[in-house]
Structure 1
């Protein structure tokens, strides 16, 4: 049976379960913010991500990385944490889903990933850029999701996704898929392997909240 350690969660937290089909539901929760910056020429300059994790997981991370036992993370401990997270989620494209006309857009790895604690909650902060210039046209979508179903990362409010520099001919909207409708709409492409072990597929993205930017051709 296919097994995988879901994300850095299972690497960091001693005793957490490996995500197998019997346990395919979120174990960790994070509130996200996404800031999309568009250049004057209509290309995407960067995506700015901030993820704030739940109290329980944040406490687990604190205990795991507080090597000197002072109940806080100093600069070196935060750097070690950031490096661990960076190495772990890189294989999942940093949980990003970016498409243009329903085709995947490859994102370059972030130059820096920051781990911090505010109000006893773990924050992950990073910026990413398209690997090749991404010119808005037709429909582009931007969001985050954990393909292993282990972590629920979502935008609590529509305003948590913000666009700077949106061209005048473009419109944006936040899309929050209804799980039942998403399953029904994708029934033809879902296989038994998805229902038996969605963590072994890449289809959890159909449930992801995302921002869609539609830029019809100028007349």
Structure 2
């Protein structure tokens, strides 16, 4: 996952901290298997979104090498905290790669106060939880997506069960939508500008390719 600051690297880390891509580099360099769990309150409002991202071996090794300050081939608590702080500040600009909409309107999320990071079986793992800024009722059509608007990181949900809803109301339907890239381009041709084709990282139109969890619920009385 690339953790940006659009003007310069914040540490050689890693793809996490690379400078903005040129058009020739606009394709995934880092891969993460993800899990998203939507937590629901008894009053049918969304309590939080729980995220888990597990990164590929190459990127995980890069993180280890860059932050292992004492060269003992592992990250101690202080080093892990440095990773967490760096990642947090780097992806905050990109709303933590989250997109939530209610009946087509953007839903603002409260930034997580911090991240939990760890290594497990040689893979770098990030966990965090975010909450809606305003109460988000499960009514109508609610969409949740996780994607990198710069195209640098491919955040993948390897099966539909990895986009889950805890305590989903009985009158809600759940669907995971995986857009076909060619179809997505064709359907959005009218709204895609020349800037997108020259450098999609600068347009945030990568959301049309994002895997989405769609909930369709009856309006509560």
User: CA 1:87 to 1:14, structure 2 compared with 1: closer, same or farther past 3 Å?
Assistant: closer
Q: CA RMSD in A?
A: 1.7
Residue in structure 2 matching 1:157, options 148, 159, 162: 159
- Per the TM alignment, residue 216 of structure 1 is displaced from its structure 2 partner at its CA by 2.5
- Per the TM alignment, residue 218 of structure 1 is displaced from its structure 2 partner at its CA by 5.7
User: CA 1:14 to 1:133, structure 2 compared with 1: closer, same or farther past 3 Å?
Assistant: closer
Q: How many residues align?
A: 214
Residue in structure 2 matching 1:122, options 118, 124, 130: 124
- Per the TM alignment, residue 8 of structure 1 is displaced from its structure 2 partner at its CA by 4.2
CA distance in structure 2 between the aligned counterparts of 1:12 and 1:184, rounded to whole angstroms: 38
Secondary structure, counterpart of 1:97 in structure 2: strand
Residue in structure 2 matching 1:103, options 85, 102, 105: 105
Q: TM-score scaled by structure 2? A: 0.92
Number of the residue aligned with 2:12:
13
User: Quick check: 1:12–1:61 contact (8 Å CA) kept in 2?
Assistant: no
Secondary structure, counterpart of 1:166 in structure 2: coil
Deviating more after overlay: 78-87 vs 14-23: 14-23
Superposition map of 1:86-101 within 5 A: 86-101=88-103
Give the gaps of 5 or more residues in structure 1: 1-5
1:134-157 Cα deviation digits (max 9, x unpaired): 112211011100000100001011
Q: TM-score scaled by structure 1? A: 0.93
- Per the TM alignment, residue 161 of structure 1 is displaced from its structure 2 partner at its CA by 1.0
